[in-house]
Structures are given as structure tokens and as C-alpha cells.
Amino acid sequence: MVLAGEIGVVQPIIKVDRISKNFGAFQCLNELSFEVAPGEKIALIGPSGSGKTTILRILMTLETINSGHIEVDGDQLYHVERNGQLVAADEAHLHRMRQKIGMVFQLFNLFPHKSVLDNVTLAPILTKKMKRADAERRGMELLDMVGMADKAKAMPAQLSGGQKQRVAIARALALSPKIMLFDEVTSALDPELVEEVLNVMRKLAAETDMTMLLVTHEMSFANDFADRILFFDGGRIVEEGKPGEIFRHPKQERTQAFLKKIIAAGQRI
Amino acid sequence: MEWDWEFVWEIMPMLLAGVRITILATILGSALAAVVGLVIVIARRSANRAVSRTVGFLAEFIRGTPLLVQLYFIFYVLPDIGILLPPLLAGVIGLGLHYGTYTAEVYRAGIENLPRGQWEAAKACNLTPVQTWIHVVMPQAIPPMIPALANYFIAMFKETPLLSAITVLELMNQAKSVANSSYRYIEPITLVGVFFLVISLISVIGLRWLEKRFGRVA
């Protein structure tokens, strides 16, 4: 595990450099910059509309950017070098870069016409040309890890939200990405199903050296899980630090106000 | 006016030949409509504005004008610029183009109904656009389209008598020629109605089955 203080020694795996993103007249990200060290677990918190989900979606290439640069694992994400100049990347480059990144969505987005196991094996078979038998063996291992091996033959519609999300995590892991993005993965779940998904993520954090970025409203989970917290507001990072610093001794007024609201809403930190 | 069974049996072979052509025109017209609809949908989704606008305008134009006028145009006007088509081929092209503009709408609705999250999940799984269409979009978008497509299939079938206007010897035209030579209308025209009714009813039963089978996605 790499802590915030060690950045600068280690080459960052993600380098976000002055990214701006507009949706019409609304400026969602405003020259956002941050770096992530390999293996780091980062929680992105902040009020809704602060841009934290948008930066995850940009890292997954689900949105375009208006300006700025992103480096992932040593390569530009949205740019390629041509004749010594950085130009916009083509689809082939984005396809190569996406191999390094996996994402789990708030609404699961499982493929409803495919069984649990087929959801997990589809991408390895198609994009890594893995043999079906190998993909299924690996798929079963992953389903076992998320506690869903007994549902391998089930269809997504037969599962609870928590089960769907655990399958979605296995599906994202099947491509062995270096970076995993979790976008409010428990927000759509009934309260009693949240813990089973968080347990899987704890296990993942403990057992792998994957870099993980997580957008969440679960402050106590962010506190246990993350090496570092980024507090977003107005499309920028207002404050960052170790969970203990951010949650116990927030320096910025906006962080304090946000945490006060969260506590007033009944969450324990 | 009396119903003459003997006359019915006498003209039956000619009418059955007409039924064959009617069914053939419907099947070929549907196949062409399915392809034309796909081309229209893909062209309208094209990033190239000139392509998407032109095809969009043409599709609206075809949908906004009567099939009969289009058939006349294909069969009687195109020869003026040197395109001479046999009647059945002209009829199939007319049916296929006309109904292709409708099937395009069915495709479009089916594709747009697919939640955005499915496209995003496919991208997060690093599928290529072609893989996304084959493995994620089409298996989900096509089943709900089937009842609507089958509906247009039946509608097209019932419009095939229009092909008699361009000398295709389909059921209606056969009946007319029988009637014109024998001066008896009641049997041939009644039988045309009966044939269409029977085939429509069978098709509707098939359609209901398709609706049950594919109408709702689990």
C-alpha cells in the first residue's frame, strides 16, 4: 500500500493534468489536477454535481474532455504523439488504453440477456481471445471470490441488487485491469444489501495491489477503505489528505460544511 | 345473382397462381424492407451530416407519399431514363422501399430504448463497436422489435393488390382478369377476400405468438 506522502518517489499510475469539462454552459470540471500512485486506494467525496463521477467517467473514456491531459500507466489517455506533437487519440488508441481500466457502475449495467457466468466471460473471450474453457475457469474463480459461484447459471433478472453488483465487480475484474473505478456502487442498493458489496471491495483492497478509485457517499467506508480522500467541490479538489485528517480535522470551510451535512443526515464517520 | 361452385373450381388454379405471387411479393418485399430499414437507420446515425440528413429526408419523402404513386413511378416513369424493370421486381422494390422507411423507425425505437448503461458497460468491457452491436445491442434490441415488424409484414401483405396496377399477376389481378373475361365478379372477388382473410388470420395467430414470445423482455 502506498500512502500519499510517498507520491513523488513512485511514478504515478494516473496523472490528471488541468482537465476541464463542460456540459453546455455548466462547467463540470475546472482545471482539475491530481495524481494517483500505483496500488493506491482513493475515495472521491463531495456534494453532488461536484464532478467526482465525471472524472471517473472520463478515465473510462465514457465522456470527452474539453481541455487538459491525462496520463495512465505512462501513456497519454486522450492523446497520441505524432511528429512530436500531441494530437487527439483515435479509437484504436482508446481501445488499447481501456485494457488498463475497469469500471463498476451505480446501476450495475449487467447484460440482461446473458447468464452470470457469460457476463463475466464475454469480454475476455472477445477482447483477449481467451479460450472459452479458460475464460470460464477464471470466471468461476472470480465469481467464487465475490461469493456468487452458486449463481453462475442464473440470469441477472433473478438476482438481488447486491448480487448483481458483486457480479458486476467480477465482470470488471475479468479483464485484469490495473485500475478499477467504482462509481457510487452502493447508492442504488437497499440498505441491507450495501454491506455484502462493501465486504467484497474490502477483500479486493486487501488481496490485490490494484489501484482503486471510488466515488462514494458512504463516509465510514471511505474512512476504512481509502489511503487518501479527495474532497471535490465545484469541479475542483478543495482538500485532500488521509482519511483521519479529512474526517477529523478538515481544514477547508467547504469540507467542514459538507461533513456537517453528512452527519446531520444520520451517517456516522 | 347466383353463386356458381363449378365456376369456382374452374378459376381456382388461376387464383392459386395469384396467391403464390402475392405471397412471394410479400416475402421478397419484407426481406428488402428489413435491409432497407437497416441501411436507413445506419445512415441516419452516421456522423456525416450530409449522409444522415439526405437519407433522413428521402425516408420522410417516401413515407409521406402513397405507395401506388411510387409503384407507378418505378414501373412507368423509370423506363424514360432507361431503367426497365419486370413487373414483379418493380413491385418488390416499391414495397421494400416504402416499408423499409417504416421498419427503419422500428429499428430506431428499438435501439434507442436500450439503456445508455448497456453501451457504457460494453465500452468498459473494452468491446469494439462491432462486438458491441453483435453481442450487446442487437440481442437486446431485436426481440422487442419483432411484433412491430410482423405487424408491418401483415400490412404489406394486404397492400399487395396495389401491384395489380403495374401488371403483376398477383391474386387481385388474376381475379380481375378472370372476371373481365367471364363477366362474373361475385366468385373471383369474393374468393380474393377469402384468401386474404384466411392468410391474414393465420398471420395474426403467428403474430400473437410472436408478441407473447418476444413482446416483453425478462
Domain ranges of chain B: 5-214
Residue A102 touches partner B, C-beta closer than 8 Å: yes
Test mutation, A98, A113, A119, A130, chain B, max B CBs within 10 A:
A113
> What tens digit of pLDDT does each residue of A165-192 get?
999 999 999 999 999 999 999 999 998 9
Sign of the dihedral defined by the CA atoms of residues A261, A187, A54, A93, in that order: positive
Helix, strand, coil shares of chain B, percent, nearest 5, are 85, 0, 15
- The closest CB to that of B120, out of A62, A110, A171, belongs to A62
CA distance B155 to B25: 13
- At B85 the pLDDT is 94
A60 contacts in chain B (CB < 8 Å)? 120, 123-124
CA distance A136 to A141: 9
B172-176: which pairs have CB atoms within 8 A and are 24 or more residues apart?
A: B172/B18, B172/B22, B173/B18, B174/B14, B174/B15, B174/B17, B174/B18, B175/B15, B175/B18
A115 contacts in chain B (CB < 8 Å)? none
- Its CATH architecture, for the domain B5-214, is Orthogonal Bundle (1.10)
- At A266 the pLDDT is 80
- Res. A2: pLDDT tops 60: no
Note the ipTM here.
0.91
- At B208 the pLDDT is 86
Domain ranges of chain A: 112-176
CA distance B212 to B218: 12
CA distance A175 to A122: 10
Q: Give B97's pLDDT tier (boundaries 50, 70, 90).
A: very high
Q: Give B92's pLDDT tier (boundaries 50, 70, 90).
A: very high
- Res. B217: pLDDT tops 90: no
Contact of B141 with B75, CB cutoff 8 Å: no
A126 contacts in chain B (CB < 8 Å)? 127, 131, 135
Contact of B187 with B4, CB cutoff 8 Å: yes
- At B215 the pLDDT is 62
* Neighbouring C-beta atoms of residue B196, cutoff 10 Å: 18
CA A7, chain centre distance (Å): 20
Comparing alpha-carbon positions, the chain B residue that sits nearest to A182 is B124
